Chains A and B, each alone.
Chain A
Amino acid sequence: RKEVEQDPGPFNVPEGATVAFNCTYSNSASQSFFWYRQDCRKEPKLLMSVYSSGNEDGRFTAQLNRASQYISLLIRDSKLSDSATYLCVVNTNAGKSTFGDGTTLTVKP
């Protein structure tokens, strides 16, 4: 079993839709969590950190459930420019950063 698992998708949604991505992790000692975005043929870039209380950044909302070892990302009012692969990242206390395989989103006009 992979340390970090994501639904690979692809998710194909119309502009304006709300879409949610899920991620589970196996290491209960994991300490910090992030969502990254990767565009085609580019490097991953930080989208947002994920805090225990949940956090929002504009149209993006991230949630963490430590008891269930589950992280989510919600995108509201999808834009064409949101089309990308979204990667869940889990860090251990030792600083090891493990990435999920990513969920591909395509937003269509």
Chain B
Amino acid sequence: DARVTQTPRHKVTEMGQEVTMRCQPILGHNTVFWYRQTMMQGLELLAYFRNRAPLDDSGMPKDRFSAEMPDATLATLKIQPSEPRDSAVYFCASGTGPGNTIYFGEGSWLTVV
């Protein structure tokens, strides 16, 4: 059963620390999305990639967040330095292109204290 895999599932860190979240998209999927979800903001699109190239990262705070796809099987989202307001669930999703369904990982639950 193909699925999107995210690590870590849960992370508690202190303010100022670097946080790296990883995502393995479903094999064969060429589009990868990073979303952030909080009670207040709903699901926000942070960035998305097609064929490893970033297409839109306008939803991402550039000063502290960065997203990359080192290869087709790995996407990363990094926060440096982390702040308490970054506490949220970060979802990775993958798909096969425009018009097609996207599939979510189980999320990385981040708490910054």
Contact = CB atoms under 8 A, between A and B. Distances in A.
B5 to A, nearest CB: 12
A44 B101 CA distance: 12
B99 interface: yes
B52 to A, nearest CB: 14
Contact of A43 (B41, B45, B55, B107): B107
A32 B99 contact: yes
A52 interface: no
A55 interface: no
Nearest to A43: B104
Contacts, number: 56
A31 B31 CA distance: 17
A95 B55 contact: yes
B43 A44 contact: yes
Given A95-B48, A96-B48, A49 B101 contact: yes
Contact of A46 (B48, B56, B101): B101
A42 B104 CA distance: 10
Interface in B81-113: 91, 93, 95, 97-107
8 contacts: A32-B100, A44-B91, A46-B103, A87-B43, A91-B98, A95-B98, A97-B93, A101-B42
Given A44-B104, A99-B35, 9 more contacts: A31-B99, A43-B104, A44-B91, A46-B101, A87-B43, A95-B97, A95-B99, A96-B55, A99-B43
